[in-house]
Structures are given as structure tokens and as C-alpha cells.
Amino acid sequence: MKEIDKVYVGKRIQQQRELLGYTREELAEKADITPRFCYDLELGQKGMSVDTLCKLKSALHINIDYLLFGEQKALNDLNSIKILIETCPSDKRTFLIDIITSYLKAVK
């Protein structure tokens, strides 16, 4: 059985939070935790309950295996892109899709 490293879990929480453009306060609100607890989790200073783990999973749009162990399946890359598009402000979404489309044309 793999061991859970709270420091790396915290780094993954912080990276995903930043990728989604959330402040620590926004993530705390979405996951129903305090900003201070969110900070402590990101630093790997605290552990979390299963309930909090599930709330963070939902708020960060990631799977639990990735959150706990850093294992991410290829499908999650597509989900991450989808989530980025969905969380992009609506007035910028068309621009983002144009960038992705142009990039895909350029690499083909």
C-alpha cells in the first residue's frame, strides 16, 4: 500500500487551485473549509477527513487518486482542459477555444 505524503498532497491542491484560478478563500468556500485550514493543507501541515477529501475533489475537479498519490490517467488531462474552458469567463471563452483550435492546427 502506498503511503500518503501530506506535503505532496498539499502541493497538488495548491497547483490545481492555481490552475483553476481560485484564490485560497474561493477554494475554501467551495470545499466548505476555512481559508486557514486550506492554507495548512497546502503546506502539508494538516491531514483531512474523508468528507473534506471528497469536497476538495469536487471543488478542484480532480480524482482522489491524483490528489492523494499523484496518479493521473490520460482522461483527466481532457477533463482538465474541459474544466479550464468551463471556468473561463464567458466573455473570454471564444478566445480560449480559438487559441486551442489554432494550436491544434499548428501541430498537425
Q: Give the residue-averaged pLDDT of 2-6.
A: 86
Per-residue pLDDT, 41: 97
Q: pLDDT for 15-56, tens place per residue? A: 999 988 899 999 999 999 999 999 999 999 999 999 999 999
Per-residue pLDDT, 82: 77
Thinking of the domain 1-71, which architecture would CATH place it in?
Orthogonal Bundle (1.10)
Cβ(46)–Cβ(37) below 8 Å: yes
Map grid coordinates 475554501 to a residue.
Answer: 28
Q: Domain locations in the chain?
A: 1-71, 73-108
